[in-house]
Amino acid sequence: MNSPRGTHVLFDREALAFEQVSGIFQETAQSFGFTPISTPIFEFSPVFSRSLGETSDIVSKEMYSFQDRNQESFTLRPEGTAGIARAYAHDGLSQHSPFKVYYQGPMFRYERPQKGRNRQFHQLGVENIGAAVIFSDLEVIDLGHQFLTRLGLMKECQLLINSIGDEASRKSFREKFVSYLSPYEAELSEDSKKRLHTNPLRIFDSKSEADQKILEGAPSLEEALNDESRRIRDQIFNGLERLGIPYTPSSHLVRGLDYYTHVVFEFVTTQLGAQGTVLAGGRYDHLIENMGGPKAPGVGFAAGMERLVLLKNEELRLAKDVMVIPIHQDLEMDAFVLAENLRKQGLRVFTHFSGNLSKRMKKAHSQGVKWVVILGPEELKKQVFQVKDLASGDQFEVSQKELSTFLRGKIMDSKDRRP
């Protein structure tokens, strides 16, 4: 039986890449004082439909919803922010201040599987709830920038940023925008025709060439921003300049969820084709209140791990420093004990008890093992082993007493010489 469409088994190099991305993310988030959180993998459906917006693509097209035996509607989480906001509002977490958390895990959306996007995918992100000052926005953007830098991906990414203003600004702009688009309604794509009457700002997200041509003469959201929205935007722009984080203002950048206000941002790349967004987020000032919680503005970002792994695109394999190979089958237990002793001394030892010496050497090569310790009856008797460097072919005679020190030194030396 095949796996469900849009799901994927992570194994070996790809699984290792996920672990490396996850580890770098955790280290970066913790360096900013964020703590981990894990929310339920499914929630009552209104948690998402009310917070994300009934007209958003996620709610209208992509949610995996089901009824349980009590006929209550649940939804597998399609993103991380709504569940965290629900927990903050109703699980007693609002007493924790500052509420700075990071998360990672599987999410679910019913959409066409494509490069870097599956129906079960993995997302990581951060949320800072309860801080209204612009420094929380700057901190989240800085965290995202440092994370991508530590991954070695910032050279392939660009930070786009925009202000979508507060509710009053967006209401004013919506009227002008709809008035501009209405004469072109027949020429819009089918999705944009629907959005024109439900969520017109989402038309900026359209990938249709015809839509984008129409948008060339559209009014700018910038023109509708009130003084407070401009002040917040300008302070964040100035802060990014002080931090030395390059950015590009993008007047057509909007986010596809209803809860966003003021500054929104995306780190984008041209390396993934049409799926160019790598990490994205923004501020949400009213989400917690709308979910029945206290007044608590927030800001955060999320990133798809599959896309990060695709961008990283390195030849990765699980590090296996040493393999102990017995010459004869009756020495396998001795080899097993020697391998365990080396592990206790901090080495990563791969064992494979099948095949003759030649086959085991080939297995060592295929597994990326760096050094092989050959164990024969004479070596065992003298407690002096033949140690082979599989990269160079050099072979050394090393006593058991010095074996772990010798191997650790050689392995560390090879790491120091890497470009």
User: Strands 42-44 and 99-108: what pairing?
Assistant: unpaired
| pLDDT at residue 341 tops 50 | yes
Residue 369 clears pLDDT 60, i.e. is over it: yes
Domain boundaries, the chain: 12-166+226-312, 322-416
What's the rounded Cα separation, in Å, for the pair 16 and 310? 13
Contact 410, 371 (CB under 8 A): yes
Residue predicted with more confidence, 125 or 2: 125
Looking at mean pLDDT, say which of 132-141, 218-227, 233-242, 264-273 comes out highest. Answer: 233-242
Instruction: Give the helix ranges, DSSP H, for 151-206.
Output: 167-181, 190-198
pLDDT of residue 106: 95
Instruction: Using only the alpha carbons of the chain, give its radius of gyration.
Output: 27
**Domain 12-166+226-312 architecture:** 2-Layer Sandwich (3.30)
Looking at residue 78, what is its pLDDT?
Answer: 92
Six token digits for residue 410: 């050689």
- Alpha carbons 101 and 128: distance in angstroms, whole number: 7
In tens, the pLDDT along 53-64 reads: 665 666 767 888
> What's phi and psi for 371, nearest 5 deg?
-130, 145
Q: Are strands 298-304 and 322-326 parallel, antiparallel or unpaired?
A: unpaired
| Residue 318: C-alpha distances to residues 152, 214, 314, 390, 414 (Å) | 20, 51, 12, 16, 16
Beta-ladder partners of 104: 124
Looking at mean pLDDT, say which of 6-20, 30-44, 286-300, 375-389 comes out highest: 30-44
Indicate if the pLDDT at residue 417 is higher than 50. no
Q: Check whether 418 has a pLDDT greater than 70.
A: no
What is the average pLDDT across 225-233? 93
Q: What is the 3-state secondary structure (H, E, C) of 24-66?
A: HHHHHHHHCCCEECCCCCEEECHHHHHHHCCCCHHHHHHCCEE
Select from 3.40.50.800, 3.20.20.80, 3.30.70.20, 3.40.50.620 the CATH code of 322-416: 3.40.50.800
Q: Which two tokens stand for residue 415?
A: 């790491």
C-alpha to C-alpha distance for 328 and 322, rounded to whole angstroms: 19
Cα atoms found within 13 Å of the Cα of residue 231, Cβ hemisphere only: 4
Residue 13 tokens read as 């190099």
C-alpha 30/C-alpha 27 separation (Å) is 5
- Using pLDDT thresholds of 50, 70 and 90, give the confidence band for residue 161: very high
Residue 417 amino acid letter: R
Reply yes or no on whether the pLDDT at 75 is more than 70: yes
CA atoms of 260 and 201, how far apart (whole Å):
12
What is the average pLDDT score of the chain? 87
Q: What is the pLDDT of residue 308?
A: 92
Q: Look at residues 325, 319, 405 and name the one whose alpha carbon lies nearest to residue 373.
A: 325
- The residue that leads in pLDDT, 375 or 234, is 234
Q: Tokens standing for 160?
A: 């786009």
